[in-house]
Chains A and B, each alone.
Chain A
């Protein structure tokens, strides 16, 4: 019996020691664990900054949105509850599929979204029946919304749900409560400015993860609002002028480098992407032959065609290869000395005797074949580089293409082949290897407009912190393009004025009743290399498939004396620059300079 009593005492001692160890010795450890159990740090996502255009029209806003969420552990029979919910709220197959997938991944005490973007009547219907659904709740948060739909999408971009590859690169702390991140355009480039700083709530929770009360909270710092240089109305005018056609319009304020219009058509609705586009619609957009997702203004690389003629002329003057008053016989074609191949003019019979002004006004190919041949590729290439060809412009956005400015060195590097003289000839009219983006063309136009000021374009005008407007820190960098005589600029610009305002100019159609002076240049870019036999080409031209027709290009700035706007327009398969692209540029300039809305009688 004593043995038994001793055993009892010993056992009690063991238990007592165990409890001493837990409650006294390791108390701090367990105390911390119980605190961690009870108190949860819940991140409060900051409100994303708004985006305005230059006239303070809203381009991107945050719209309240309602989400219905289910916490499985608190629901007796999840399937039954969903069945009853579907009587109040429209639930599709894909809602259920996503929900069940989430349910497998998450802990039963975590709440899982069932449907996002409930409409008002669904919210109301659920609220009335709320008592029937323990463990189901509606939460309010904000969704990014673009009120102008697709009008600004190629400049603005959009936000979307953070994906797994983005998570790797993010500041996990700051994004702990954030669902969306900028995916493209301004939304991506200015992500840091727009996002803001996360806040926290210390909440007491129970074992099921239900919030009981807030113990402490650190409010988030909302993202800063930004003002863009874009003019949203101008964007609309440009899109309207392009109509159903594919193409691009880029307009710049030459003095500041501010992008006024940045349009690539067709557009698409960025609101579709915010909460994840469904795969069917995405495939539709992806496989659309008009490629609405492709940002033509930024990444479309087109042969600049005759639009580079004013710059080639300037190069001729600068290097003293030609004088403005020099005339040459511009017949139907050009031949390199000792070669049989004919380089045809666009005009079957040629232009006769032409000087530089006439050559630009009428866009004589033979004149520029000759000039290019006399300049040589390397001098031409070196000079065109001052106009930003072959380099990124440094616009504050993502995905810019740099085009191609060919030279002997370039061809050797790319193909390991020597440069042929014939390639110099066609580069003189902006064909061959050369390509440029509509943005680059607009920059080159702006260099012409400012008589040699190459400015870095920008799309951010200002950052607004709590209502006050701050100018962006970086002031546009300017580089001078020096030519031998400043007068050369005026020579070339005068010829560009003739293009628009002289009856023999290629763009006289748009210039004849303009209320202001425009300097412009038309261009046509071949979509594919046609047989050089001009006769067949002419014959086929009317019949060829619309998709194989030439792209129409037009560059212009106005007013000539004090340029307020420089613009480049490309209409894909438009046929000609004069017929397709010039009227678009005119509509944009009319609105910007005169406030004239197309399709309406003169506003002034």
Chain B
């Protein structure tokens, strides 16, 4: 199987999928344009974000060269290293905004929880790839543990947004690996039971955010302010938008966190419905491309991994746009490749590196 002719794709430059690559570059370009407006026209921010993208694309290119079998072998070790980093963060992490998320390595600071967005699906896929569908309940249980432990570690940092995303991608793996409806039902009802219980373990500000989602106007100058202002920004953009750099909500400071979590509001205000639909189409296109790569993957591990990574990217932007437009609670999830931020950009591009690698070792013909 190692040198099987159908798994080798010839003539592919650096194992890159040009279609996916093109879409990603377009997305990053849009991101920089919106970011320039959101960050008070500071070139500094643009240069730093470009540097993040550059690092991200180098990582992407690097991972694209590594065959998925190699990744398969590394999976448990990467996962364990990730767990170790998470524990380290809890003990000596750098505190930012009331949560311990960062590790400081002198020259760079990073969030280990971001890496888990890749390591967890790798590990879960590794564990489940040699099990045959439909999965028996005990395998599902082990997989849930694999996902649950890091989710828990991240949620007590506390970083609810990332924890939920890690949980999501883990569930996608289990789902894609072929679970039974019965075990889905069992875990589904477990989660339903856990929801009201977990309410009491949520921090005050997290409870506030959920309450505020239900009725943002109940505290218009406190917690609800974020959502109200971002909805006003998006809605006032209209069909064509107020024009680049001309959004009054954006330029007059009414949108909080507008270069990070709420950057979608800036885009909505300045580029209007046309802009937001264009962004949705680009995102949709990328997800579809990722799913098609998963569909053609040569083995279960690759298929499950590619599928879950694509879906996690999907969840990323749906949750962010949902929260900024007032459909979901504010959980602190950045808009992929548009929001300012290094670790998130690098992690996402790294995931696409893995997808590229899987793509270049795909089956040429699907039976």
List the interface of chain A (C-beta within 8 A of B): 1, 4-5, 8-9, 11-12, 15-16, 18-20, 22-24, 26-27, 29-31, 33-34, 37-38, 107, 204-208, 212
Partner of A30, one of B236, B253, B314: B236
Can you list 12 pairs linking A and B with CB atoms under 8 Å apart? A1-B295, A5-B288, A5-B291, A8-B287, A12-B283, A19-B273, A19-B280, A27-B237, A27-B238, A27-B239, A38-B252, A204-B252
The secondary structure that dominates the A interface is helix
Q: CB distance B284 to A12 under 8 Å?
A: yes
A17 to chain B, nearest CB (A): 10
**6 A-B pairs with the lowest CB-CB distances in the bound complex, closest first:** A30-B235, A34-B236, A207-B253, A206-B252, A23-B273, A22-B235
Q: Chain A interface: which of B204-212, B317-325, B331-339? A: B317-325
Q: CB distance B325 to A19 under 8 Å?
A: yes
Q: CB distance B311 to A4 under 8 Å?
A: yes
Q: CB distance B252 to A18 under 8 Å?
A: no
For window 285-319 of chain B, which residues contact chain A by CB distance below 8 Å? Answer: 287-288, 291, 294-295, 307, 311, 314, 318
Compute how far the CA of A16 lies from the CA of B238 in the bound complex, rounded to whole angstroms: 14
B107 at the interface (CB under 8 A from A): no
Partner of B280, one of A15, A33, A107: A15
Partner of A1, one of B231, B276, B291, B327: B291
Compute how far the CA of A5 lies from the CA of B288 in the bound complex, rounded to whole angstroms: 7
Compute how far the CA of A334 lies from the CA of B192 in the bound complex, rounded to whole angstroms: 108
Q: CB distance A37 to B277 under 8 Å?
A: no
Nearest A-chain residue to B322, judged by Cβ? A15
B326 to chain A, nearest CB (A): 8
- Which residues from A are CB-within-8-Å of B322? 15, 18
- Which residues from A are CB-within-8-Å of B307? 1, 4
- Apart from A5-B291, A212-B252, what 7 extra A-B contacts exist at CB < 8 Å? A4-B176, A12-B280, A24-B238, A24-B273, A33-B235, A38-B254, A206-B252
A66 to chain B, nearest CB (A): 29
Q: CB distance B235 to A9 under 8 Å?
A: no
Q: CB distance B232 to A33 under 8 Å?
A: yes
B221 at the interface (CB under 8 A from A): yes
B260 at the interface (CB under 8 A from A): no
Compute how far the CA of A12 lies from the CA of B234 in the bound complex, rounded to whole angstroms: 17
Q: CB distance B253 to A16 under 8 Å?
A: no
**Assuming the A-B contacts A1-B295, A4-B311, are A23 and B248 also in contact, with contact meaning beta carbons closer than 8 angstroms in the complex?**
no
- Which residues from B are CB-within-8-Å of A208? 253
**Assuming the A-B contacts A23-B276, A27-B239, are A9 and B284 also in contact, with contact meaning beta carbons closer than 8 angstroms in the complex?**
yes
Q: CB distance A107 to B287 under 8 Å?
A: no
- Which residues from A are CB-within-8-Å of B254? 34, 37-38, 206-207
Q: CB distance B327 to A30 under 8 Å?
A: no
**Assuming the A-B contacts A8-B291, A16-B277, A16-B280, are A23 and B235 also in contact, with contact meaning beta carbons closer than 8 angstroms in the complex?**
yes
Nearest B-chain residue to A26, judged by Cβ? B235
- Which residues from A are CB-within-8-Å of B280? 12, 15-16, 19
Q: CB distance B276 to A30 under 8 Å?
A: no
Q: CB distance B318 to A37 under 8 Å?
A: no
- Which residues from B are CB-within-8-Å of A212? 252
B233 at the interface (CB under 8 A from A): yes
Compute how far the CA of A15 lies from the CA of B277 in the bound complex, rounded to whole angstroms: 9
